[in-house]
Amino acid sequence: MTLIDAAPVPAPHTATDLPVVNSWNEWDPLEEVVVGRADGAWFEPTEPGHRPALRGPDRGQPFPTGPKAASTIARANEELDGLVALLESLGVTVRRPTVDGFGAPVATPAFTVENQYCAVCPRDVLITLGNQIVEATMSRRSRFFEYLPYRDLVRGYWNADPRVSWTAAPKPSMDAGMYRSEFFELSLDERHARMHDFEFCVTQDEVVFDAADITRMGRDVFVQESMTTNRAGIEWLRRELTPRGLRVHAVHFPLDFFPSHIDCTFVPLRPGLVLTNPDRPIRVAERAFFARNGWRFVDAPEPAYTDDEMPRHCQSSRWLSMNLLSVTPELVVCEERETRLHALLRGLGFEVVTVPFRHVYEFGGSLHCATWDVRRRGGCGEFFAPEEG
């Protein structure tokens, strides 16, 4: 297919500028962001770490294979382009990945998979931690090379400013031993019985994490243990980030049977305020940590879309309603139909701007997922007292 080029890489910095990569939290004023593209997307294949399934009346039927329809891609791109236009109207610099299609198989000495996926969700594979770019390991075979569409941009940021550091986490083997083959066969009751051990479809031996399982609150970084992030992955992040002055905390949501990515469950809005998922409360002891530090939790309202109204190929929950993007501590972008959420946020003092985004849902996420914030104005705040011991 035709190569879709990324936006030009940033110009070299001047000494008085903010670093070209600078983001310490989820809410400071946004200056530069990468927004994904739907071009060249294929249906995600069935593999040990993922069992895609149809929704609604088609549930139980075989999941499609091959490239996504041109009309499906066009609808998603229209919404992504609408987000780009909105952000640019707010003064945000937007860059895009370089896309060359995802139909090629992946083969390594440890595994093969028939095709790749897409480049809609940079949040899954890349995260900014201060002036450091971290490339995640990823947890699914079809996403092994998903960092490649962003490599020109990352290299450009790294070349433009010597204050920028760039770290790629160790690539996992993704061999059969990295997954629990029985996980998807367990009933919900059986899974709940095991939930206190937080053992999901990935085993604990190799370093595994998706960047979207991480949320940043200044010096404190919170990582969800999930289907896509294991304890070895959290420990790797702790060892990597502690020397840089950051504190890494594991968080858990015991009622989530398929936990994958924290940004539909636990969304910091500004210092002292977190939007939470009423179906997936945080573990009691971890809630107490936030309460001791003066943080308030506010439950998100019921999503606008029912399960049957979500796109039939979408593998995310309807709680994509929470997957908003903060542009400043006072302004957030939400999906247009989530009117109950808009009302809640306006009642909390936020300005809410909206865009249609439902057609992006089947590509793996919503507004937060489809963006990677490269630069926000501000430094590393401290919002939590150090714990003793």
Q: Which residues are catalytic?
A: 210, 261, 369
Quote the CA–CA distance of 39 and 280 in Å, as a whole number: 33
Give the chain's length.
389
Amino acid symbol at 15: A
Amino acid symbol at 164: V
Beta strands in the chain (DSSP E): 30-35, 93-95, 106-107, 112-113, 126-129, 132-135, 165-168, 214-217, 220-224, 247-251, 266-270, 273-276, 296-299, 325-328, 331-335, 351-355, 371-376
Angle at 214 between CA 266 and CA 344, to 5 degrees: 25
Tokens of 126: 């890349």
Residue with tokens 């971890």: 286
Quote the CA–CA distance of 337 and 347 in Å, as a whole number: 17
For 164, 266, 315, 369, the CA distances from 318, given in Å and listed in that order, are 36, 15, 10, 14
Quote the CA–CA distance of 254 and 265 in Å, as a whole number: 12
Q: Reduce the secondary structure of 73-106 to three states and give it as a string.
A: HHHHHHHHHHHHHHHHHCCCEEECCCECCCCCCE
- Terminal Cα distance for the chain, rounded: 56
For 46, 53, 309, 342, the CA distances from 337, given in Å and listed in that order, are 31, 25, 12, 9
Quote the CA–CA distance of 304 and 319 in Å, as a whole number: 9
For the purposes of burial, counting CB atoms within 10 Å of the CB of 302, is it exposed (0-12), middle (13-18) or buried (19 or more)?
Answer: middle
